[in-house]
Structure 1
Amino acid sequence: MLIRETVTEDWPAIWPFFHDIVAAGETFTYPVQLGEEDGRAWWLLKEPNRTVVAVADDGTVLGTAKMNNNHMGNGAHIASASYMVDPKHSGRGVGRALCEYTLEWARAAGFRAMQFNAVVETNTYAVRLYRSLGFEILGTLPEGFNHPRKGFVGLHIMYRPL
């Protein structure tokens, strides 16, 4: 698996699983009706922020990550990132590789820590992955997320120093 900068030509491969994940409404705080143009604008970040794809040897896009400063001004030393793995390729280490990549990017870019603002507590795979990579749950906003099947569930704020 190779992780590289996203190019415009990657979007048609990202959009189908991006759309499905967002429309499911189970893991992201994005509007479930998010259209393709808005999705592209929200996901494909411009420098100094970044968006990458994980690709297989044959060029198949397996997943994607975006990484950015979490805040502006005097809080700009804290990074954040988001990840989407094509469900057809889940369970193969793509999410872990993307997360490790974003941590290295943030460290090399001079950030002091990485913070995730809204990890849905029922997204147990993500929570387990982040904890295994050294993130801790700083707090949970009770009923901060309206899960389509489980109702109101918490949103974790997760943090890791770099």
Structure 2
Amino acid sequence: MQIRSATPADAAAIWAIIGPTIRAGDTYALDRDMGEEQALAYWFGADKEVFVAEVDGAVLGTYYLRANQAGGGAHVCNCGYMTAAAATGRGIARAMCDHSVERARARGFRAMQFNFVVSSNDRAVRLWQRLGFEVVGRLPGAFDHPAHGFVDALVLYRTL
């Protein structure tokens, strides 16, 4: 697996991953009807550094890294990760998280925070906890899940 900086040439492959994830509406608090142009503009926002994970030339995952806050909070970063549905269980998310921790350290961040992890996303919650993140907050009923109704969102945090 190779994890590298994303380029504009990766847009179609990234959309093929983030489009279905956004449409499913069960892990990200994004408008399920968001179009390709708007979704890519969000993912490639000016405040974000974007990466892709490739296996045998195929993009199977993508993540972004950014400062979580400005000013006095700029030493804490935030990331968003999405993996192709066909690549679930292949270690893509874990590799991207490991990569993001190293990249965050290299950029001088002192901690990483996930602001809104949907509590019913069991695989992600377990993975983040195995990778050293702690649940530091719970937002009761903050996410309207398409199958489960209102579920909690979690705030996870780890020092770097």
Cross-structure match for 1:95:
93
Structure 1 gaps, min length 5: none
Residue 54 of structure 1 corresponds to 53
**In 1: Cα distance, 2:101 partner to 2:46 partner:** 18
Q: Is residue 17 of structure 1 aligned with residue 17 of structure 2?
A: yes
Q: Quick one: distance in 2 between partners of 1:108 and 1:11?
A: 26
Q: State how far apart, in whole Å, the 2-side matches of 1:46 and 1:109 are.
A: 16
Q: Which residue matches 2:40?
A: 40
CA RMSD of aligned residues (A): 1.0
Structure 2 alignment gaps of length 5 or more: none
Distance in 2, matches of 1:44 and 1:100, equals 21
The code of the aligned residue for 1:85 comes to T
CA distance in 2, matches of 1:145, 1:76: 26
- What residue is the counterpart of 1:118 in the other structure? 116
How many Å separate the matches in 2 of 1:153 and 1:77?
30
The alpha-carbon deviation at position 38 of structure 1 amounts to: 1.1
CA drift of 1:144 comes to: 0.4
How many residue pairs get aligned? The number is 160
- TM-score (normalised: structure 2): 0.97
Q: Aligned letter for 2:115?
A: N
Q: TM-score, normalised by structure 1?
A: 0.96
Q: Answer yes or no: is the 8 Å Cα contact 1:15–1:36 preserved in 2.
A: yes
Moved more, 14-23 or 59-68: 14-23
Runs (4+) off by over 4 Å:
none
Q: Secondary structure at the match of 2:78?
A: strand
Question: What is the deviation of 1:13?
Answer: 1.1
Equivalent pair of 2:138/2:154 in contact (CA under 8 Å): yes
- Confirm or deny: 8 A CA contact 2:14 2:59 kept in the other structure: yes
Q: What is the CA distance between 1:73 and its match in structure 2?
A: 1.1
Three-state SS of the structure 1 residue aligned to 2:100 is helix
Q: Higher mean Cα deviation, 34-43 or 78-87?
A: 34-43
